[in-house]
Structure 1
Amino acid sequence: MNGENPDGRNVRSIAPGWQPYAKAAYGYVNDEKFGVNPRPRASIRRAGPALRTLRDRMNFKQLEAFLAFMTTGSTIEAAQRLGSSQPAVSRLLSQFEADLGVPLFVRRKGRLHPTAEAESLLPDVQNMISDAESLHRHVNQLRLGGQRRTLIRVQLPSTVAQSVMPAVAEAFLADHPDVALEVLVGTYEASEVAVLGREADLALVRSPPMNSGLSMLLRLATEAVCVMPPGHPLQALDAIGPADLIGVDLVLLGRQRSLRQQIDQAFRQGRMMPQIKAEVHSVEMACRLAAQGIGVSIVNGLFAGLCQDMGIVRRPFRPVIDYCVGMAALAGQPPHPLVPELIQRILDAMTERAGPGAFTQLAPEAGAAPTASA
């Protein structure tokens, strides 16, 4: 058959990670020189249609669920890592086990435990997912217009992306001409999902993150501040509380934001109602409206510092509302070697732009990769 299977496909073109499955599906058993003078085995040849059905039915979501469960040991933790639900992960694992026809799990006291067969499959599944990620990177490189050796994807809130990334990207790419950089914009929640789904290598998220499948490589603490145009009457105060904002038009972030919920709570505790003039969905827009005199805003102090060139004045908000953000990558695997350098460049740019006192750098999580200066 000259290296071709019964369907006419060239078996030598199959990626190494898939070769064990292709051999099983098509009946080629020459392990040392796969695809050269293949020898169909009668028993496998008879099983060919069923195994080809297995190949067709097995899907990538099942493989991801299997890997997440095997590396976390819990369907709940696996669901958090995948940004999914525990029932959905359990369903994928059951389908995977049924499709393979191999006992992968035993159930004891309501919990799943991997069998020896599952442990033996783990390296193959890891290789298959790694190959798929490599393919995904290559496709993204082609979409960016060239075959670069490295693609690094970072997802950030709009305020950070707009304020610091143009200069960071220019310097970073000048020092690494063989790198392509993709800058994505999204909310904290969307950024967590992007990292968990391997659509971003790095993202700025709230700390601690909602999902345990993330590793915090950098953590920054800040406080809520009030922003207003120069000359506003409240500029004379050292700090501003809800009582100072009675009768003052406010520009606040949307109600779904955690900071907004804390602001609303501060007003409720003082038995006061905020006088909301406008609601926005980014700190940058809040600062722009405040600079135009539309209203005073209460925002993340770090991000307000990034917007100080808009002509705004900042004052601490009281009671203190603590705020912590950080750079996150996928837990359980080392980041690309250039990721710590990129994090450090972003940190340096934020420090220079926001000014002293806008935030405090906290120690990274235990086991997290350090930034370039750590």
Structure 2
Amino acid sequence: MVEHRHRLREFECLRAVVVTGTTIGAARRLGISQSAVSRSLSQLEARVGRLLFLRRSGRIEPTAEALRLNDKLDPIFETLADIEGAEWVTPDAEPLRLIVPPTLAHHFVISRVARFLKENPGKQLQLDIQATDVLVSGILELRYDLGLTSGMIQRSGVHLVPWRRSQVVCAMPTGHPLSEKEVITPHDLEGVALIEFLRRLGTRAITEQLFARAGVHPKQVAETATNMAALELVRQGLGVTLINPFPLLTSGLDGIEVRPFDAAIFYNTSFVLPSGRPPSQLARQFMQFIKLTTPLDKYSEPV
């Protein structure tokens, strides 16, 4: 029994270092000394006969073997969490650091955060609202534990966990001539006033390629960076836009009509995590809560 307790402490230290990235952070998480963490890691490496961490200039990085071992420990510690409450897995004093782009935050996430905290008294959460490029850099630098975005991210160092899928639609002012059609095709936009997204955003390249293949030339009247700005310009009668309907359009917007757009342009709304680091217990709990409390709508489906 004594040996088993020692092994459990070694595994606790491994998981804490993988999550926090430092022996100091692991020591704070577990409520023990930094030297005790280092000693447990050395004992575990000797026991398994593998190098589990690379130690360089005061930094400690998990090896591939450490990450695989950590993954195998997940069910063990999740079971212990269920049995004991597992205050040591994610202490209430350590909030979930969440980052979300403005549109997703104001039209979906904030209300879920409020409900999550009401249903989980004692849990803490820090919500930052930033553009997707800031979100990615923050996750890479481990300044945040979890992000949510519908952005088309292709970046090493971050891990995307899709949970909602939607397809592009055409939004237009109420009474627009195209509202007489049930489905909008690329050719319907020939010469039509179009509100585009900035070139640095992934959807812009996709729509430009689509129009080029179809030989269509919409009339670009404005460019913007956010879905909400595009829809407000549409509401003001400036033109139409091609947009991700989730979550902005799921409940409808006054002054705007929506039609399906005949193009295979899909959006994944995803959780964003740092690669190689398992989410904390609190992050997993919040992710599951989001999945379970997302209402059904006609524009998106669970992944």
- What is the TM-score with the length of structure 2 in the denominator? 0.66
1:258 matched to 2:251? The reply is no
**Correspondence 1:206-355 to 2 at 5 A:** 209-306=153-250, 308-347=252-291, 351-352=294-295
Q: Quote how far apart the aligned CAs of 1:262 are.
A: 0.8
CA deviations 1:329-366 (Å, max 9, x no partner) are: 234333222323322443456x43xx52312222xxxx
CA distance in 1, matches of 2:157, 2:299: 29
Which stretches in structure 2 are left out of the alignment for 5+ residues?
1-31, 39-55, 67-90
Which residue, out of 109, 122, 132, partners 1:188? 132
Q: Partner of 2:199: helix, strand, or coil?
A: coil
> CA RMSD, aligned part only?
3.1
CA distance in 2, matches of 1:275, 1:348: 42
Matched to 2:142, the amino acid is R
Q: Quote how far apart the aligned CAs of 1:296 are.
A: 0.5
1:16 matched to 2:11? The reply is no
CA distance in 2, matches of 1:187, 1:162: 13
Q: Quote how far apart the aligned CAs of 1:192 are.
A: 2.5
Look up the match of 2:302: 361
CA distance in 2, matches of 1:229, 1:278: 15
Q: Could you say if the C-alpha distance between residues 307 and 285 of structure 1 is closer, same or farther in structure 2, counting changes exceeding 3 Å?
A: farther
Q: Partner of 1:302: helix, strand, or coil?
A: coil
Q: Quote how far apart the aligned CAs of 1:149 are.
A: 1.5
Matched to 2:34, the amino acid is G
Matched to 1:229, the amino acid is P
Matched to 2:112, the amino acid is V
CA distance in 1, matches of 2:115, 2:274: 25
Asked which structure has the greater RCO (Cα within 8 Å, sep 6+), the reply is 2
Amino-acid identity (%)? 25
**Correspondence 1:126-137 to 2 at 5 A:** none
Q: Is the 8 A contact 1:157 1:188 kept in 2?
A: yes
CA distance in 1, matches of 2:114, 2:149: 23
Q: Quote how far apart the aligned CAs of 1:210 are.
A: 2.5
CA deviations 1:122-175 (Å, max 9, x no partner) are: xxxxxxxxxxxxxxxxxxxxxxxxx96131121122111011233212212222
Q: Partner of 1:240: helix, strand, or coil?
A: coil
CA distance in 2, matches of 1:72, 1:249: 56
1:177 matched to 2:170? The reply is no
Look up the match of 1:159: 103
Q: Count the aligned residue pairs.
A: 231
CA distance in 2, matches of 1:215, 1:180: 24
Matched to 1:319, the amino acid is A
Q: Could you say if the C-alpha distance between residues 245 and 277 of structure 1 is closer, same or farther in structure 2, counting changes exceeding 3 Å?
A: same
Q: Partner of 2:222: helix, strand, or coil?
A: strand
Matched to 2:148, the amino acid is L
Matched to 2:166, the amino acid is T
Q: Partner of 1:203: helix, strand, or coil?
A: strand
Q: Is the 8 A contact 2:191 2:217 kept in 1?
A: no
Look up the match of 2:53: none
Look up the match of 1:71: 64
Q: Could you say if the C-alpha distance between residues 218 and 262 of structure 1 is closer, same or farther in structure 2, counting changes exceeding 3 Å?
A: closer
Q: Partner of 2:168: helix, strand, or coil?
A: strand
Which stretches in structure 1 are left out of the alignment for 5+ residues?
1-14, 22-56, 74-146, 363-374
Matched to 1:67, the amino acid is E
CA deviations 1:25-46 (Å, max 9, x no partner) are: xxxxxxxxxxxxxxxxxxxxxx
CA deviations 1:297-332 (Å, max 9, x no partner) are: 111132442573344221122222122231122343
CA distance in 2, matches of 1:155, 1:221: 20
Matched to 1:356, the amino acid is D
Larger-Rg structure = 1
178-187 or 212-221: bigger deviation: 212-221
Q: Could you say if the C-alpha distance between residues 72 and 309 of structure 1 is closer, same or farther in structure 2, counting changes exceeding 3 Å?
A: farther
Q: Quote how far apart the aligned CAs of 1:237 are.
A: 1.2
Q: Partner of 1:324: helix, strand, or coil?
A: strand
